[in-house]
Structure formats: C-alpha cells, structure tokens
Chain A
Amino acid sequence: MKKVRINGSEETVRAETVAELLRECGLEERARGLAVAVNRVVVHRQEWARARLAEGDRVEIIRLSVGG
C-alpha cells in the first residue's frame, strides 16, 4: 500500500502501476478519452501498464468537459 495524490486528494492505494490504479479507481471501463499525468508528466496510454507508481506521486486523471 502506498499514499498517492489523485486529482488533488490523498489516497491509499494498492496499485503498482498506472494501469492498476485506473482499475482500482474503477476507471478502466471509461478509459476512452482519459489522460493521465504523474508528477506533471503525461503518461501515454501504451505506457500505463509499465509506468510504476511511487509513494507520494501526484497523479492527474483528466477527461474532456464542456467548455468555451
């Protein structure tokens, strides 16, 4: 278990990788249109399964929203 910040809030997670984190957050099914940055660097979709998470990582998970 490790503590990471997901979209600004501190969470304790089991996930070792970005892909596992998305699964743990229940976002796997909604992966189309998602993007992830860890410590302000974009993690490309094809790297999700390999990208390892470390204690204290700051994760941003975004999607498209209405906007002008």
Chain B
Amino acid sequence: MDGQTNGAPSGDRLEIAGVALRSRLFMGTAGYPNQQVLTAALEAGGAEVVTAAIRRISLDAYGGSLLDVLGDRYRLLPNTSGCTTVQDAVLTAQLAREAIGTSWVKLELIGDRETLYPDAEQLVTAAEALVRDGFVVLPYCTDDPVLCRRLEDVGCAAVMPLGSPIGSGMGILNPYNLELICSRAGVPVILDAGIGTASDVVLAMELGCSGVLLNTAVAKAHDPVRMAAAMRHAVEAGIGARAAGRIPRRRYAEASSPQLGLIE
C-alpha cells in the first residue's frame, strides 16, 4: 500500500485532464425505476460526473431528453457502450461531442457480448485515435497492469479497470491487480464495473483508486436513493482509511491490553 503516485489519498480533489472534481463517485444513469428516483439517487450520491449512452433517436415517439434533465447539473460523460469496432467507437465519440459539446468520453469497446469484457487490442487503437482527435479519453478496461500502462502511454486521461463483469455485482475479483495498477499509474484509476455494495467501494478506495464508477448497484438496489448515499459514505470511508494508513496484517494475535499489572 505504498505507491501513491496517482494522488488518490489525502482528501485532495481528484483531477482529470486539469479539471478538479468535487466527487470521486461517478454514477451511471441506466436502469432506474423512473426519472425521479434517478435524479434523487444522483443527488444522494453526490456525483458530479454522470455517464450516458449515445443512441439513435426514435422518429416515432418522443421521450424527454436526458440532456434537459441532467445537463445543467452534472458533468455528462458519454460512453461508447455497445461498440465492438474501433470505427464505431470513434464515430460514437464524435457524435457525442457534437451532441453535447464535451470532449470527454468513456471509451467502451466490447470484445465479447456475453461477458462484456473489453477488447484490449482494439481499445488501445481506439484510445490513441481519440486522443489524437482531441478527446479526453477514459477507457473501460480489464484489470491488467500492462494494458493500463499502454492506455496511459497513448494519452488516456484516466484508466478505468473493471472489478468484475458489468452488472455482475461481484465486487473486486482481483484486488492484487487493482492495487498494482493503482501503485503504478500516473493517471487517476477509476474502478469501473462490478460494484455490488458499499464495501466494494471502500475496498477500491483503500486499494488506491481515485474514484469509482457504478450504476447497477444503485439503480437496482431495493432502495436506490439510500444505496447511493451509502456509496457516498463508502468513498469517504475508503479514502480516509487509505490516507490514515492501515496496520500491517499479522498471522498471530497481539494483545492490545497491557501485559503488565495483571492480578494474581
């Protein structure tokens, strides 16, 4: 737990591409029971960055615009979800930039529709192309320290390794890799995908992550607003514990009460 190169702990603000963010909790907007619960949950979570997808507009029916609902209150982070080729991901990012005027993009390039695992090889190619095109690229990637390094090398503003598959709620399956990634990264590490409950968020922050992106764990909770508040506290708890410095693990007990002065 020594490497702190990515500036996660100590309560400092998270900074991505020169922008200081007041919240380390990034929240998705999908799967909520209704718009009221969505907005209340985002509020309870204290999120500043919220993600959204880019989809074809329906020519028949008009639902309200997400931009109108959230655009003024949050920093919208469009994603390239569903894209399976570099070309589609790049075009989707360009459309997003045109639609809402942000150069930030959560780059998703799915290699397998069943597991929704990223296509590592194409991901680097797409990231490089988008960086060259002026985007602030936040790639969703596997928890592979080498891939994260490559993404950083091509100019990504952060890396977003998964804890476990999207929507699985299995938490952080490989904390050792995640800690390794955090200790070596020169850009913020945002844990993306797999969060099931608040303790997963605490662990992510304790391992050195700069932030967490979650969606399903809140949207599909029995009480999404309450879970969002719990996630907010979890970020604080994890950041605090990380900054405070945990005790080393030991194999045997060590009494905490004094060993002298015992009665006979």
Which residues of A approach B to under 8 Å, CB–CB?
A: 6-8, 25-27, 30, 32-37, 40, 42, 44-45, 60-68
Residue pair A63, B65 in contact (C-beta under 8 Å):
yes
Residue pair B28, A67 in contact (C-beta under 8 Å):
yes
Nearest Cβ in chain B — how far from A60, in angstroms?
Answer: 7
Tell whether B84 is near chain A: CB-to-CB under 8 Å. no
Q: Give complex CA distance A32, B79 in Å.
A: 19
> Which residue of chain B is the closest to A29 with respect to CB atoms?
B62
Can you list 21 contacts pairing A with B, beta carbon distance less than 8 Å?
Answer: A25-B59, A27-B57, A33-B68, A33-B71, A34-B57, A36-B98, A37-B91, A42-B94, A60-B95, A61-B56, A62-B55, A63-B54, A63-B55, A66-B29, A66-B53, A67-B29, A67-B54, A67-B79, A67-B81, A68-B29, A68-B215
By a CB distance below 8 angstroms, the chain A residues around B98 are 35-36, 42, 44-45
By a CB distance below 8 angstroms, the chain A residues around B95 are 35, 37, 42, 60, 62
Residue pair A67, B51 in contact (C-beta under 8 Å):
yes
By a CB distance below 8 angstroms, the chain B residues around A27 are 57, 59
Nearest Cβ in chain A — how far from B227, in angstroms?
Answer: 15
By a CB distance below 8 angstroms, the chain A residues around B79 are 67-68
Please indicate which of the listed interface residues B87, B92, B166 has the most CB atoms of chain A within 10 Å of its own CB: B92
| A68 with B91, Cβ < 8 A, contacts A6-B59, A60-B56, A63-B99 known | no
A66-B31, A68-B30, A68-B167 are known; give 11 further A-B pairs, CB within 8 A.
Answer: A35-B99, A37-B91, A62-B92, A62-B99, A63-B65, A64-B66, A65-B52, A66-B29, A68-B29, A68-B79, A68-B81
* Count of inter-chain pairs, beta carbons less than 8 A: 108
By a CB distance below 8 angstroms, the chain B residues around A33 are 65-68, 71, 99-100
Nearest Cβ in chain A — how far from B195, in angstroms?
Answer: 11
> Which residue of chain A is the closest to B90 with respect to CB atoms?
A40
Tell whether B78 is near chain A: CB-to-CB under 8 Å. yes
Residue pair A68, B51 in contact (C-beta under 8 Å):
yes
Please indicate which of the listed interface residues A37, A60, A64 has the most CB atoms of chain B within 10 Å of its own CB: A64
Nearest Cβ in chain A — how far from B145, in angstroms?
Answer: 24
| A32 with B67, Cβ < 8 A, contacts A27-B57, A67-B28, A67-B30 known | yes
Residue pair A63, B67 in contact (C-beta under 8 Å):
yes
Residue pair B56, A8 in contact (C-beta under 8 Å):
yes
Nearest Cβ in chain B — how far from A5, in angstroms?
Answer: 11
Residue pair B99, A64 in contact (C-beta under 8 Å):
yes
Nearest Cβ in chain B — how far from A10, in angstroms?
Answer: 13
Q: Give complex CA distance A25, B57 in Å.
A: 11
Residue pair B65, A68 in contact (C-beta under 8 Å):
no
Tell whether B96 is near chain A: CB-to-CB under 8 Å. yes
Tell whether B210 is near chain A: CB-to-CB under 8 Å. no
By a CB distance below 8 angstroms, the chain B residues around A68 are 28-31, 51, 53, 79, 81, 166-167, 213, 215-216
Nearest Cβ in chain B — how far from A56, in angstroms?
Answer: 19
Q: Beta-carbon contacts of B99-126 to A below 8 Å, as 1s and 0s? A: 1100000000000000000000000000
Tell whether B185 is near chain A: CB-to-CB under 8 Å. no
Residue pair B91, A30 in contact (C-beta under 8 Å):
no
